[in-house]
Amino acid sequence: MEAALSELENALGHGFANRELLVRALTHRSLANEQAANEQALENGKEEAAGAGDNERLEFLGDAVLGLVVAEALFGAHPEWQEGELTRVRAQLVSRQHMAEVATAIGLGNHLRLSRGEDRGGLRHKSTVLSNTMEAVMAALFLDGGLEPVRAFARRWVMGEAAEQLVQELRSGAALGNYKSALQEHVQAARAGTPVYKVKSESGPDHRKRFLVEVRLKTDEREPGKPLARGMGSTKKQAEQDAARRALDRLTAAAAKAGASAAGAEEKEQAEP
């Protein structure tokens, strides 16, 4: 367990002075309940529980701390933004979906402490459990080291590419975090087919994975056609969004160029006697 905790501490960028905080942040209520039942079975009132309690109270604190740190970073980085813009981007960055992606990127699921039954049932891979545990870990970081380790982690994993992508979407007027849907709507309107995403490669250690994803257009039952674009990210979903964004940019630029050419040809035709 010590080696596993050290691996997680490396991913978090913080060595805990009180590791019991980290252990508790990783402990799902199913394990805490299982341990309590085992203690009861011993029929010894003087026995203390073997576990450290569950992480639900830490989730509450971690959610608040994470929201503060992300709000602080956005407030300082974008003095030109109004409240609405700040709120929208913060909501995306601290969303359950994004925090589950962050948890996956650092391999948090491997460190969850679950009951045997829930572990066999695949609970450690569920996005809700991952996002909740990530919030609990943020609380443990805060209680052990203050805001600075939380700020450092947020800059590296919560903000990073995701924040920059959201900024670009906000500036372009696109729906935040929704390039895949935008690409789907674009190609359906043009009756050009259906976007299909495929992971082309993975690189880096488990806690710092990099994914390369390719998007192609499938028009019938045959293999998808030529690649539209490729994207990269620290999770498959981020890489897919990046690929969709690049593909949408390419298709939009091509449509604009075609429209300009058609307009030019029409003006030339009208100008001829």
Q: Kindly list the catalytic residues.
A: 63, 135
Alpha-carbon gap, residue 71 to 87, rounded angstroms: 8
Contact between 245 and 235 under an 8 Å Cβ cutoff? The reply is no
Cβ-Cβ contacts under 8 Å for 173 (sequence gap 6 or more): none
Phi, psi of 204 (to 5 degrees): 90, 165
Per the CB < 8 A criterion, the answer to whether 161 and 238 are in contact is yes
Output the six-digit token pair for 35.
């341990």
The residue type at 11: A
User: If you search the block for the tokens 């030529």, which residue do you land on?
Assistant: 226
Residue (of 27, 93, 15, 78) closest to 55 by Cα position: 27
- The terminus-to-terminus CA distance of the chain in angstroms comes to 86
CB 86 within 8 A of CB 74: yes
